[in-house]
Amino acid sequence: MGCIDNLESQGMDANTSFRAKLQSKRSKLNQEINKELRLRAGAEKLYQATTNKKLRNTIALELSFVNSNLQLLKEQLAELNSSVECYQNDSQNLILPMIPLGLKETKEISFMDPFSDFILEHYSEDSNLYEDAIADLTDLRQACRTPTRNTQGVSLLFRYYNLLYYVERRFFTADRNAGIYFEWYDSLTGEPSSQRSVAYEKACILFNLAAIYTQIGARHDRKSEKGLDGAVYNFLQAAGVFKHIYDTFTNAPSMDLKPLVLDVFVDLMLAQSRECLYEKLQLQMESMSIQDTDNLYKELAGEANQLAKKYAEIHTTIQSNETHSYLPECWVGLVPMKAEYYKGLAHFHASKAAGEGVTQIEGYPADKPISDDLIRRAHLKEAIASLEEARRIQRMCRDLKNKDSLSKVVKEALTAAEDEFSVIDRIIPDNINDDDLELLTVKIEAISNVTLSLSGPDFTAHKVEDPFKALGPIGVFSARKYWTAPRSIRLQKGTGSIIQRRKPKTCHCKPGTLIACDYCKSRSNNGSIRSESTNSSDKEKVIDSFGFNVRGDAPVVISNVERNSLAELGGLKQGDYLVEVMGIDVKWHTYQQVVKLINSANSTLELKVVTPMDKGYQSPLPKDPYCPYTYQSLGRHSTSSSMLSSTRTSNSDTAKSQKTKSCSKRSRSRLNSFTSSSWNLFRRSQSMGKI
């Protein structure tokens, strides 16, 4: 198929890393959860169906065991989601961990049988010609179940997502079941969900794409500016993908795709991006001299306070709806802990920039002077209180209290704040009343010099080719369009093969009549034919030889069939698609290429055409300017065309109908004058097939 490399098609080995082992364990847990859910569903149905009291008690007891097992399995899955350390960089010990997302699991699907049957039934083509394309698509989806945590894994998911566009157009319609169900497991609860819609498959692939971005972002080395830039990029990409799912996908069957959860994910990724920018600003400050860091403390205080505000808003959002009951306990505890931690850091940095105008003072008597040392002391007091609250939240959370690296980070910040407070407290004058110090409260304005903007996923950066391109242009040959089975037409030229009228070289119109002579009609027809194409000589050659016109590109369409011509007698219809000329597939050929093929035919032209069956697709044939009848009213000579036009009704008035009938009679009399001879070579009989 040419859309994946050998390395990409293999996916990720389940035994290559600890993260892969976690994903493999997640897959097993999902299967066990699915088994328990089936047992519970069956037991509940049996409980409702039976009236035996003893049997009901037995079923109720079994249901209690099943629910207990199910709860235990979900706790194990939540514990897996809480394992954030394995996704972090190995060199990061004294740094707060980022929150990555695990991948959604899915069952293996084989597209071979459903797509082969659809190609045979709908497209009337040999499905064996597309076995390689179907097999490549199946292998690609299998590889997407375990993508690597790098750019190759991202490219793999992007390419499969782009291929789903062609798959959906070729094989899926709203009114027809292709026999394929996409089953995915919820990454938060482990419960399976199944849908026929390709939109669900796309949403799950995008979710895994965002999850891969979060894992790559958490893996970056946050001790260097380059690593922090990479982390910011990946977290922003993850937020953009989650936002894209939020905006485009509705009626989510699983909890991890609900709008409430996606909204939390978007805000969380933006907050983690801002956290990386704060850490980058810290690195820049460490590389500067002490004289240059005065203004940076003010920026750090504003950024840290902005970060604390964002995490506090996320915590409020989680607690205000049912999201908190589905998210892992580690995540629910880490968000408010980070809010308090960065609030403490904001006050700590503000104490360093007490004279820079970052402090808002409240509660202190206006008649008493306030020194910078008093402001620093108040900030450090707030910093110690916030950091102690962060440590308390960590100890109260079961999944956070055993994380040593997290404890070290909070303890280090708290120790630094306490040391600064003890130094400032010793230099406070003795005449300052302790009650006044307790009344002094300081606040920091949340100011950030960085504006984060979201951008959706760039699907055009990972272009793929249609693996089923041989079926024809997707705008015409798709699952939503219908056409007849391909039919072969063989046109043989010869002496007198085309029924022709003797064309006079002068006008013979009778004076006082509206009916044009053959000479005037031929001149009118030739003029209309020449105006249909820029290459009029070639097209007239086709008309003169076989009696039909073509137009358009990929596919070329029969634009006109000359009355009583060889093409008309052979069964060619206006609006037919040319799919094969002289044994060559022309569904993707241009107009010039098809005309060249037709003109290259000597005396025999072999065509294969299909007739579209969409309502209103075929426009009515052009009317004779001197007689208001169309080609479909020519009786037995229009049998092949009347099959598609028999449902059309006429709403003309009585006078117009009578005029049409009289003109049709005159036309039939003229037609019979040259077709009612003793023997006609091109006249159809009951036992004669298509020419």
Q: Beta strands 584-585 and 604-610: pairing type?
A: unpaired
Which of 170-174, 235-239, 447-451 is predicted with the least confidence, judged by mean pLDDT?
447-451
Q: Is the pLDDT of residue 179 over 60?
A: yes
* Domain assignment of residue 534, yes or no: no
* Domain assignment of residue 636, yes or no: no
pLDDT band at 393 (very low <50, low <70, confident <90, very high): very high
Q: What is residue 656's predicted lDDT score, i.e. its pLDDT?
A: 44
pLDDT digits (tens, 9 = 90+) for 188-239: 888 889 999 999 999 999 999 999 999 999 989 888 889 999 999 999 999 9
pLDDT (average), residues 422-443: 68
pLDDT band at 535 (very low <50, low <70, confident <90, very high): very low
Task: State which of 287, 312, 346 marks the end of a domain.
Answer: 287
pLDDT band at 502 (very low <50, low <70, confident <90, very high): very low
pLDDT band at 361 (very low <50, low <70, confident <90, very high): low
Q: Is the pLDDT of residue 520 over 80?
A: no
Q: Are residues 257 and 305 in the same domain?
A: no
For the record, the structure tokens of 200 come out as: 């669900």
Q: Is the pLDDT of residue 673 over 60?
A: no
Q: Are residues 343 and 197 in the same domain?
A: no
How far apart are the C-alpha atoms of 141 and 138, rounded to whole Å? 5
Q: What is residue 64's predicted lDDT score, i.e. its pLDDT?
A: 83
372 or 156, higher pLDDT: 156
Q: Are residues 166 and 283 in the same domain?
A: yes
* Domain assignment of residue 644, yes or no: no
* Domain assignment of residue 147, yes or no: yes
Q: Are residues 299 and 278 in the same domain?
A: no
Q: Are residues 425 and 334 in the same domain?
A: yes
Helix axes 329-352, 404-427, angle to 10 degrees: 30
How far apart are the C-alpha atoms of 67 and 40, rounded to whole Å? 8
pLDDT digits (tens, 9 = 90+) for 396-412: 988 888 888 888 999 99
How far apart are the C-alpha atoms of 351 and 346, rounded to whole Å? 9
Residue-averaged pLDDT of the chain: 77
Instruction: Find, among 404, 329, 411, the residue nearest to 97 by Cα.
Output: 404
* Domain assignment of residue 572, yes or no: yes
pLDDT digits (tens, 9 = 90+) for 459-486: 999 999 999 999 999 999 999 999 999 9
Range of 37-51, 60-74, 110-124 with top mean pLDDT: 110-124
Amino acid identity at 336: P
Q: What is residue 537's predicted lDDT score, i.e. its pLDDT?
A: 46
How far apart are the C-alpha atoms of 143 and 5, rounded to whole Å? 11
46 or 683, higher pLDDT: 46
List phi, psi (to 5°) of 155: -65, -35
Q: Are residues 278 and 304 in the same domain?
A: no
Range of the domain at 309: 289-452
Range of 50-59, 254-263, 611-620 with top mean pLDDT: 254-263
CATH number at residue 551: 2.30.42.10
* Domain assignment of residue 564, yes or no: yes
For the chain, how many helices (H) and strands (E)? 20, 10
Q: Are residues 304 and 277 in the same domain?
A: no
pLDDT (average), residues 620-631: 40
Range of 157-171, 454-468, 592-606 with top mean pLDDT: 157-171
How far apart are the C-alpha atoms of 550 and 543, rounded to whole Å? 9
How far apart are the C-alpha atoms of 352 and 456, rounded to whole Å? 40
* Domain assignment of residue 418, yes or no: yes
pLDDT (average), residues 157-178: 91
Q: What is residue 174's predicted lDDT score, i.e. its pLDDT?
A: 80
Q: Are residues 102 and 208 in the same domain?
A: yes
Q: Are residues 282 and 228 in the same domain?
A: yes
Q: Are residues 380 and 302 in the same domain?
A: yes
Angstrom CA distances, 520 to 505, 516, 560, 660, stand at: 10, 6, 20, 21
Q: What is residue 232's predicted lDDT score, i.e. its pLDDT?
A: 94
* Domain assignment of residue 500, yes or no: no
Task: State which of 613, 641, 669 marks the end of a domain.
Answer: 613
Cis link prior to 504 (omega < 30° from 0)? no
Q: Count up the domains in the chain and report the number.
A: 4
Instruction: Find, among 232, 220, 235, 300, the residue nearest to 268 by Cα.
Output: 235
Q: Is the pLDDT of residue 421 over 80?
A: yes
Q: What is residue 292's predicted lDDT score, i.e. its pLDDT?
A: 60
Q: Are residues 265 and 343 in the same domain?
A: no
List phi, psi (to 5°) of 83: -80, 75
pLDDT (average), residues 530-541: 43
Share of the chain above pLDDT 70, in %: 69
Q: Contact, 297 vs 305, CB < 8 A?
A: no
pLDDT (average), residues 669-686: 44
Q: Is the pLDDT of residue 351 over 90?
A: no
pLDDT band at 271 (very low <50, low <70, confident <90, very high): very high
pLDDT band at 391 (very low <50, low <70, confident <90, very high): very high
Task: State which of 266, 287, 308 marks the end of a domain.
Answer: 287
Which of 424-433, 567-576, 624-633 is predicted with the least confidence, judged by mean pLDDT?
624-633
- Find the helix or strand (DSSP H, E) in which 689 lies: none
pLDDT band at 626 (very low <50, low <70, confident <90, very high): very low
Task: Tell me which DSSP letter residue 247 carries.
Answer: H
Q: What is residue 629's predicted lDDT score, i.e. its pLDDT?
A: 34
List for the chain the helix, strand, coil content (%; round to 5): 55, 10, 35
How far apart are the C-alpha atoms of 349 and 341, rounded to whole Å? 12
Q: What is residue 274's predicted lDDT score, i.e. its pLDDT?
A: 94
Q: Is the pLDDT of residue 634 over 90?
A: no
Amino acid identity at 315: H
Q: Are residues 247 and 193 in the same domain?
A: yes
